[in-house]
Chains A and B, each alone.
Chain A
Amino acid sequence: MAGVHAEAVHRHEAPKGFIRRYIFSLDHKVIGIQYYFLALFSVFVGLLLSILIRIHLVWPQAKIPLLELLSRTGAPGGVITPEYYLSLLTMHGTIMVFFVLTTAPQSGFGNYFLPIQIGAEDMAFPRLNMLSFWVTFAGLVVLMAAFFIPDGPPISGWTAYPPLSAVGGASGPGEAVGQNLWIISIAIFCVASMLGALNFIATTLDLRAHGLSLMRMPLTCWAWFITAILALLSFAVLLAAGALLLLDRVGGTSFFVPGGLIVSDKIIKHSGGSPLLWQHLFWFFGHPEVYIAILPGMGVTSHILSTFSRKPIFGYKAMVVAMGAIGVLGFVVWGHHMFISGMSPYSAFAFSVLTMAIAVPSAIKTFNWLGTILGAKLRFPTPMLFALGFVSLFVTGGLSGIFLGQPPIDIYFHDTYFVLAHFHMIMGVAAIFGIFAGTYFWFPKMFGRMLNETMGKIHFWVTFVGVYAIFMPMHFLGLEGHPRRYSELSGFEFLKPLLGVHDFISHAAFITGAIQLVFLFNLFWSMFKGMKAAENPWEATTLEWTVPSPPPHDNFAGRHPVIYRGAYEFSVPGAEKDYVMQDSPEKVEAGH
Chain B
Amino acid sequence: MALAIALVVALISVVSVALFWARIWWFPPDISTHGPAIDHQFMLTLVITGIIFVLAQLSLAYLVWRNRDRGDGRRASYSHGNNALEATWTIAAALVFIGLNLMGYHIWAGIHFVGAAPGAMQVEVWGQQFAWDFRYPGPDGKFGSSHVEKVDDATANYLGLDRDHDADSKDDIVTSTLAIPVNREVQIFLRSKDVTHSFFVRELRIRQDLVPGMIIPIHFTATQTGRYEIACAELCGLGHYRMRAFLQVMTEEDYEKWLANMAAQQ
- Which residues of A pack against B, CB within 8 Å? 81-83, 86, 155-157, 161, 163-164, 167, 171-173, 257-265, 267, 273-276, 309-318, 340-342, 345-346, 348-349, 352-353, 355-357, 359-360, 363-364, 366-368, 370-371, 373-380, 385, 388, 391-392, 395-396, 399-400, 402-403, 405-409, 411-412, 414-416, 461, 464-465, 468, 472, 475-477, 479-481, 483-494, 498, 501, 570-573, 578, 589
Contacts and interface: CB of A to CB of B under 8 A. Distances in A.
B25 A395 contact: no
Given A366-B56, A375-B79, A392-B9, A487 B101 contact: no
Interface in B128-187: 128-129, 146, 148-149, 151, 153, 160
A573 B76 CA distance: 10
B212 A261 contact: yes
B26 A491 contact: no
A173 B67 contact: no
B255 interface: no
B9 A411 contact: no
A143 B211 CA distance: 28
A276 B25 contact: no
Nearest to A566: B80
B78 A494 contact: no
Nearest to B232: A483
Contacts of A476: 19, 24-25
Contacts of A264: 129, 194
A311 B63 CA distance: 14
Interface in B6-51: 8-9, 12, 16, 19-20, 24-28, 37-38, 41-42, 45-46, 48-49
B53 A396 contact: yes
B222 to A, nearest CB: 16
Interface of B: 1-2, 4-5, 8-9, 12, 16, 19-20, 24-28, 37-38, 41-42, 45-46, 48-49, 52-53, 56-57, 59-60, 63-64, 67-69, 74-82, 85-86, 89-90, 93-94, 97-98, 100-102, 104-105, 107-108, 111-113, 128-129, 146, 148-149, 151, 153, 160, 193-196, 198, 200, 202, 205-209, 211-214, 216, 229, 231-244
A200 B241 CA distance: 44
For B12, B160, B206, the residue with the greatest tally of chain A CB atoms inside 10 Å of its CB is B12
Contacts of B238: 81-83, 86, 155, 172-173, 487
6 contacts: A275-B196, A373-B67, A376-B67, A409-B45, A461-B4, A479-B26
A529 B8 CA distance: 32
Contacts of B196: 161, 163-164, 275
A155 B64 contact: no
A529 B55 CA distance: 43
Given A262-B160, A345-B112, A371-B85, 4 more contacts: A164-B237, A345-B113, A371-B81, A571-B77
Contact of A311 (B4, B52, B79): B79
Contacts of A475: 20
Contact of A411 (B48, B75, B207, B212): B207
Closest 8 CB pairs of A and B: A258-B213, A491-B242, A375-B77, A315-B81, A345-B112, A83-B238, A476-B25, A486-B241
A380 B5 contact: yes
Given A86-B238, A260-B148, A399-B49, A359 B63 contact: no
A406 B104 contact: yes
A531 B209 CA distance: 57
B82 to A, nearest CB: 7
Contacts of A258: 212-214
Given A363-B93, A406-B41, A409-B42, A314 B81 contact: yes
B101 A263 contact: no
Contacts of B240: 86, 485-487
Contacts of A82: 238-239, 241
A524 to B, nearest CB: 26
A305 B213 CA distance: 52
A311 B98 contact: no
Nearest to B99: A356
Contacts of A263: 129, 193-195
A514 to B, nearest CB: 20
A488 B76 CA distance: 54
B234 A415 contact: yes
A479 B82 CA distance: 40
Contact of A309 (B16, B67, B205, B244): B67
Nearest to A272: B213
Given A259-B213, A342-B208, A409-B38, A371 B82 contact: yes
A380 B69 CA distance: 9
A131 B235 CA distance: 36
A377 B102 CA distance: 42
A544 B37 CA distance: 55
B161 to A, nearest CB: 14
A356 B5 contact: no
Nearest to A309: B76
B25 A260 contact: no
A587 B6 CA distance: 38
B148 A315 contact: no
Contacts of A407: 104, 108
Contact of A414 (B56, B108, B129, B233): B233
B100 A406 contact: yes
B132 to A, nearest CB: 13
B94 A360 contact: yes
Contact of B5 (A81, A388, A414): A388
Contacts of B76: 309-311, 375-377, 570-571, 578
A305 to B, nearest CB: 11
Contacts of A465: 8, 12
B213 A353 contact: no
A171 B80 contact: no
Contacts of A489: 241
Contacts of A309: 67, 76
B1 A380 contact: yes
Nearest to B102: A353
For B2, B76, B82, B107, the residue with the greatest tally of chain A CB atoms inside 10 Å of its CB is B76
Contacts of B128: 262
B60 A392 contact: yes
Nearest to B39: A412
Contacts of B105: 349
B99 to A, nearest CB: 9
Contacts of A378: 2, 64, 67-69
A81 B213 CA distance: 31
Contacts of B104: 406-409
Contact of A370 (B60, B112, B239): B60
B194 A171 contact: yes
A353 B103 CA distance: 11
B108 to A, nearest CB: 4
A260 B90 CA distance: 51
